[in-house]
Structure 1
Amino acid sequence: MNKSPENRQLETVAYSIPEACRVSSLGRTNLYNLINAGKLDARKVGGRTLIPAESLRRLIEQAPSALDAA
């Protein structure tokens, strides 16, 4: 079955800071701290700061397991 262009969902390429907070459950200050520490990529496009989706995924995937912290 072919998906028509109207039915295809767009893949998220990057998140604004508020969107990144929402999808990651991380706070704004924490996100900026991770960016400043070089642990999270950010790009300025116009006046907006965007977080590449792959960078956010990588951050979460590389974080220690909650079981490892116990």
Structure 2
Amino acid sequence: MFKGGSANPLMEGWIMNCNRTDQVSNRDRLTVTVNDALTMLGIGRTRLYELINAGEIHTIKLGRRRLVQVASIRRLASEGYETPPRYVKPEQLTMNL
């Protein structure tokens, strides 16, 4: 124990910082985690990565971490996204020559 009966004053400061209520909201951030983007858009992980691969949502990688740009989430939410047609097998095509 440290003076004053507290455990470790450094740990107390760390715990206080972890419980801050004045954290930056998603509205003010430039990037969010993939999980935050899923929550913001209300879609599944597979669909999010399809949109990333289609270039509809922009991300950056920092080491192994992928962050989603909030501006691209806002753009997608305001403009929408048309789903590309599903893959058609060649034998399903009918050609009228």
Q: Which has the higher contact order (CA 8 A, sep 6+)?
A: 1
Q: Runs of 5+ in structure 2 lacking a partner?
A: 1-19, 82-97
CA radius of gyration, larger in? 2
In the other structure, the counterpart of 2:49 is 32
Q: How does 1:1-70 map to 2 (within 5 A)?
A: 10=24, 11-63=28-80
Q: Structure 1-normalised TM-score?
A: 0.73
Per-residue CA distance 1:33-67 (angstroms, 9 max, x = gap) = 00001111011012111111011000111116xxx
How many residues end up aligned between the 2 structures? 59
What code does the residue aligned with 1:45 have? L
Q: Runs of 5+ in structure 1 lacking a partner?
A: 1-5, 65-70
Q: Report percent identity of matched pairs.
A: 34
Which region of structure 1 is more displaced relative to structure 2, 42-51 or 6-15? 6-15
- Aligned-pair distance for 1:13? 1.4
Q: Structure 2-normalised TM-score?
A: 0.54
Q: Post-superposition, which runs of at least 4 consecutive aligned residues in structure 1 deviate over 3 A?
A: 6-9
Tell me how large the CA RMSD over aligned residues is: 1.9
Q: Distance in 1 between matches of 2:33 and 2:22?
A: 22
Q: Distance in 1 between matches of 2:53 and 2:21?
A: 38
